[in-house]
Amino acid sequence: MEANREKFARGRAAFRKRGIYLFPNLLTSGALFAGFYAIVAGADGNFVNAAVSLYVAMILDALDGRVARMTGTETEFGRQYDSLSDVVAFGLAPAVVVYQWGLKYMGDYGWVWDKVGWVIAFLFAVGTALRLARFTARESVGDKNFFEGLPCPAAAGFVAGFVWLAADSQWSGLPVLTLAGFVTLATAVLMCVRIAYPSFKHFAMNRRLRFTQMAAIPVCFALIALDPPRMLFTLFGVYVALGPGLLAWRLVQKNRRRVMRKAAE
């Protein structure tokens, strides 16, 4: 009887261990499913559902790595699976959604625009794949507090926010489609260039916050709940602009120091 109890206890421990390793990959699978659903919804013309699915994918993608680190269940399989999931959820899905929403209609305004839409959408997907490949190759080096290039979830969130806002506001016309093409192409370029973006990885879940910092969290959620498409587009737009903004600030400061050194000589 005692031997059976010990065997049962070992079986339960092994099951729990397998469950812990399984949970991060389930979250990754959820992100992959959300990206797949965004493609299906975009193909059916349900652009609001498609955009919401991309944000769900972002949340699940943010959780899977954190859960793996917290439980000590990081594996090479999990990292590779996460990268493949990201290519679909943050590369192919946003590209298909923005193309189905508007870029494919650019050809209605003349032969010059006929192929521009799908080329821009393809470049976004390629930019995401290149960004993820570089991240995987250089994951163990560099400053952990900064990303090298715009993170692909942020790029997908910016594009999804634009599509959601445009669909909600019923925007149309060549100027809007041109703006959509610019937004998509600009985020694709920012993913590939070596501009530093804050990673916020130093933010610990168990750290103490000041009262004002804690109060800002529900305020942000309330603002997003009031007008999700506009607030999310603005939020991700600020982050997208943060990289070039910080680069410009560093260049200005560097130039100022150089001028001051020359003046002191």
User: Cα separation of 151 and 144, whole Å?
Assistant: 13
Whole-number Å distance between alpha carbons of 193 and 150? 8
Per DSSP, 207 falls in state S
Distance of CA 81 to the CA centre of its chain: 16
Distances (CA, A) of 191 to 97, 147, 149: 19, 10, 5
**Nearest 10 degrees: Cα torsion 91, 53, 155, 182:** 90
In a domain, 8, yes or no: no
**101 within a domain of the structure (yes/no):** yes
pLDDT tens for 143-170 read 677 888 999 999 999 999 999 999 999 9
Among 133, 153, 124, 157, which residue's Cα sits nearest to residue 232?
A: 157
137, part of any domain? yes
Report pLDDT for 256. Answer: 86
What pLDDT digit, counting tens, does each position of 92-126 carry? 999 999 999 999 999 888 877 878 999 999 999 99
Instruction: Give the per-residue SS3 of 129-149.
Output: HHHHHHHHHCCCCCCCCEEEC
Q: Report CA-CA distances (Å) from 237 to 72, 201, 230, 241.
A: 34, 20, 10, 6
Asked if residue 19 has pLDDT above 80, the reply is no
- The structural domain count of the chain equals 1
What is residue 193's three-state secondary structure?
coil
* Low-confidence winner among 6-10, 49-53, 172-176, 224-228 (lowest mean pLDDT): 6-10
Residue 214, pLDDT score: 66
pLDDT digits (tens, 9 = 90+) for 180-230: 999 999 999 999 999 999 887 666 555 666 666 666 678 788 878 889 999
Supply the pTM of this predicted model.
Answer: 0.85
Percent of the chain clearing pLDDT 90 (strictly above): 54
Q: Which two tokens stand for residue 255?
A: 């130039």
Q: Is residue 33 in a domain?
A: no
For residue 40, tell me if it sits in a domain.
no
- Averaged pLDDT for residues 128-144: 81
Give CA separation, 196 vs 66, 131, 145, 187, 251, in Å: 22, 13, 9, 14, 13
**Which range scores top for mean pLDDT: 28-42, 195-209, 220-234, 244-258?**
28-42
DSSP for 6-19, please give it.
HHHHHHHHHHHHHH
pLDDT band at 55 (very low <50, low <70, confident <90, very high): very high
- Would you say residue 213 lies in a domain? yes
Mean per-residue pLDDT, 53-82: 88
Give residue 113's Cα distance to chain centre: 28
User: pLDDT-based confidence at 1, cuts 50/70/90?
Assistant: low
Range of the domain at 259: 75-264
For 197, the 3-state DSSP assignment is strand
- Distance separating alpha carbons of residues 51 and 28, to the nearest angstrom: 18
Q: Does 161 map to a domain?
A: yes
Instruction: Evaluate whether residue 55 is within a structural domain.
Output: no
pLDDT > 60? residue 7: no
